[in-house]
Amino acid sequence: MDQAIIIEKGIFIVVIFAITMLFAMYETLAERKIAAWLQDRIGPNRAGKGGILQPLADGLKLFSKEEFMPNTPNKFLFIVGPAISMSTALITSAVIPWGDKLHIFGRDVILQATDIDVAMLYVFGVLSVGVYGIMIGGWASNNKFSLMSAMRASSQMISYEVAMGLSLIALVMMTGTLSLRDMALQQHGMNWNIFYQPVGFLIFLVCSFAETNRTPFDLAECEAELIGGYHTEYSSMRMGFYLFAEYASMFISSTILAVLYFGAYNYPGMDWVAENAGANVSNIIGIFVLFAKICAFIFFYMWIRWTIPRFRYDQLMRLGWQMLIPLAIANIIITGIVILLSDGKL
Amino acid sequence: MLLTIFYILSAITLATAFLTILSKNPIHSAIYLVLCFFSIAGHYLMFNAQFLAIVHIIVYSGAIMILMLFTIMLMNLNKEDEKNKSMLSRIAAVVSFCLVAFVLLATFIKAQPTITEYAVSGKDYQSIKVLGQVLLNEYMLPFEFASVLLLVSMIGAVLLSKKQHINN
Amino acid sequence: MSIETISLSGRKKEVSNKKMTFLESLYLVAIFKGLMITIRHLFTRKVTIKYPEQTRELSPVYRGQHMLMRDDEGRERCTACGLCALSCPAEAITMKAEERKPDEMHLYREEKYASIYEINMLRCIFCGLCEEACPKQAIYLTKSRVMVKSNSDREDFIYGKDKLVMPLDMAINNTKQMAN
């Protein structure tokens, strides 16, 4: 294999990893700040200017805390749980197109770790594996509340994966590809998928809330009933890993929402910039546009958190199985009919 | 390089498969089985069968095994609860396993020429486009049979869960 | 007037269990309304007071640490009549009276004075009834922000005359200011 490609991809992966971690870190601060603002408070403002060093302080605290191990027969699984959560939250970013391509040192650098044929299925597969982290951790804690929470989390994630997959099928029927890069390229200009698949987007949005275990679907961490949920028995950086994984997966799912439905790195007037200032400039602006979209989605996640109260378990299941899945199937049928009509085959 | 990876993967597959059978704790068995499935997905990837590998992970590791773990965790199986199976059921299990193995072996022996045939045709059978065309043109009937089978099992599951309601 | 129609706050709303229309049962409109309410709070004035730098205004009737006053000649005013102890609802005050010796004329204003005067700060509720009861204007609840300091020993919360009596230099200052 070309040595330059290996170096290029290596650097790229490290950069993406660092950005994901940085985002996850500052999401914790953003969450607290936005929560405070929405409740007419100020939020953390003591560590650094305006609380900018708060994540570091939190991390330092978590690292220096005593690591507590419950009396469990599965010490190994107890340790593996948070590790699985963290790694599954991180590896999704491999297939995401962060930008078009840059022309540096006389070669085209594609801003994507790998462009596989089945990228969307890959994202889906990683999501479905992510349940194991919570499940194994909750079970190995040897605690009834943790187990209950793990049960809730996994059943919720499995249920919503179905609706999520069905909502994506309509999108795939329309775009005709599973590669996220091709999808991003198709949305050039203002051809964003949200305009063609509004119902699909809504279903996907609700499901991604459920998949990341965020409010209003955070039954797994329901404090009033389950103490702390599946990480009740965890302390120190192991718990930090679970929290971190939640924020990392929030970042990733915001990215996927932006890539699938909101035109990825495309922005209106991209061609004009490319003509007048060069392709590199336009593509670099594209990266920033993508990150702006991601930040908007992250804000939306937090905004929703402080607006909608937590669902009850039966309400959650009814919403998933009795409303979202039929809606998604109807969406598929209608999309199919429209595609056939526009092709003139019906 | 590829051969070494194959040996490592095969070792993992075999080891986890044996551990699945041999470990006393049902949860551990289930987790070993998950690892086994992952290594099998690795084998698929070595064939460059990306679609198959990913779907294998989604369906088996992501859905079926989670449901399995789910049931095991809820049933709270202990070593003490394990009953000794009767001799008859053991023999029946061995016989049925041998039959399944025989059928599988026969199919695989039959299947071999088709693989070489595809290799000769020069088409990229791993790309989902070709895969879809093959599935929905050449193998339309088996594909639909599979979907009917799944539908039947789904209805069966619903019926089983509703049984008590019907009786009352 | 039946109990159902009474509304003390004037904002009572009757809860209705009417069947929701299809659009309402989607909750999309309701969620959107809720989002608008929360986003409005993003731009409202924050009510937080950054404590060590900013402090809240004290109420005009704020009552802080007690003080046994001296008169303009620096003599203690207290005559140990015990009315403060009597009026105290928490029974926090104890005292022991003693007769003034002739050579103590410059120390105590009245013929009888409190040789021991103690307030149990764990019991005191800072109601100010002692201040109201005092016929000699001897005990006051000051505006001091310093409340009782934390401690691990219960004995240390019983404040004696050493902590309660007005410091002498403060009395001298007061007299000087009065003279001006």
- Residues with Cβ < 8 Å from C2, sequence gap 6 or more? none
| Counted domains in chain A | 1
User: How do residues C13-41 score in pLDDT, each as one tens digit?
Assistant: 777 778 877 777 777 888 888 888 888 88
3-state SS of B49-68 is CHHHHHHHHHHHHHHHHHHH
Is A3 contained in some domain? no
Tell me the CATH class for C66-179. Answer: alpha beta
Task: Say which of B62, B67, B128 has its CB closest to residue A125.
Answer: B62
For residue C120, the cross-strand partners are C158
CATH of B1-78, one of 1.10.3210.10, 2.60.40.10, 1.20.120.1200, 3.90.650.10: 1.20.120.1200
Q: What residue ranges in chain C does DSSP mark as E strands? A: 66-68, 93-99, 112-120, 139-141, 158-159
Q: Phi/psi of residue A104, each to 5°?
A: -120, 145
Upper half-sphere CA count for residue B28 (Cβ side, 13 Å): 14
- Per the DSSP assignment, residues forming a β-bridge with C118 are C94
CB contact under 8 Å between C41 and A308, yes or no, is no
Residue A16 lies inside a defined structural domain of this protein? no
d(CA A161, CA A121): 12
- In Å, what is the CA distance from C147 to each residue of B25, C92, C137, C144, C157? 62, 16, 22, 8, 11
Question: Is residue C95 a known part of a binding site?
Answer: no
Question: What is the pLDDT, as a whole number, of residue B116?
Answer: 63
Closest CA to A305 of A37, A42, A31: A31
- Domain containing A84 equals 71-343
Give tens-digit pLDDT for C38-64: 888 888 888 888 888 888 888 888 888
Contacts of C46 in chain A (CB under 8 A): 37, 40-42
Q: Name the H helices within chain B.
A: 2-22, 26-46, 50-56, 65-75, 87-121, 128-133, 140-167
> What confidence tier does B82 reach under pLDDT thresholds 50, 70, 90?
low
Q: What percent of chain A has pLDDT over 70?
A: 99
Tokens of A100: 């078009």
Identity of the residue in A118, A150, A155 whose CB atom sits nearest the CB atom of B54: A118
Does residue B52 sit at the A interface (CB-CB below 8 Å)? no
Residue C7 has, within 13 A of its CA and on its CB side, a CA count of 7
- Single-letter amino acid code for the residue at A114: T
In sign, the C-alpha dihedral spanning B3, B6, B7, B8 is positive
pLDDT on residue B125: 64
Q: Name the region of C91 (left: φ>0; alpha: ψ -120 to 50; beta: rest).
A: left
Can you give the pLDDT at residue C43?
Answer: 85
Dihedral angle of Cα B130, B131, B132, B138, to the nearest 10 degrees: 90
Give C102's contacts (C-beta < 8 A, 6+ positions apart): none
List the subunits that have 3+ CB pairs under 8 angstroms with B: A
In a domain, A290, yes or no: yes
Which pairs with CB-CB distance under 8 Å and at least 24 residues apart come from A199-202? A199/A167, A199/A327, A199/A331, A200/A167, A200/A168, A200/A170, A200/A171, A200/A261, A200/A328, A200/A331, A200/A335, A201/A167, A201/A261
Confidence of residue B117 (pLDDT cuts 50, 70, 90): low
From CA A72, how far away is CA A76, in angstroms rounded? 10
Q: What are the domain boundaries of chain C?
A: 66-179
| pLDDT for residue B123 is more than 80 | no
Q: Report whether A55 contacts A29 (CB < 8 A).
A: yes
Mean pLDDT value of segment A21-27: 88
Asked whether residue A177 is domain-assigned, the answer is yes
C-beta separation of C76 from C68 below 8 A = yes
Report the mean per-residue pLDDT for chain A.
Answer: 84
Gap from A135 CA to chain C (nearest CA, Å): 31
Q: Contact, A93 vs A255, CB < 8 A?
A: yes
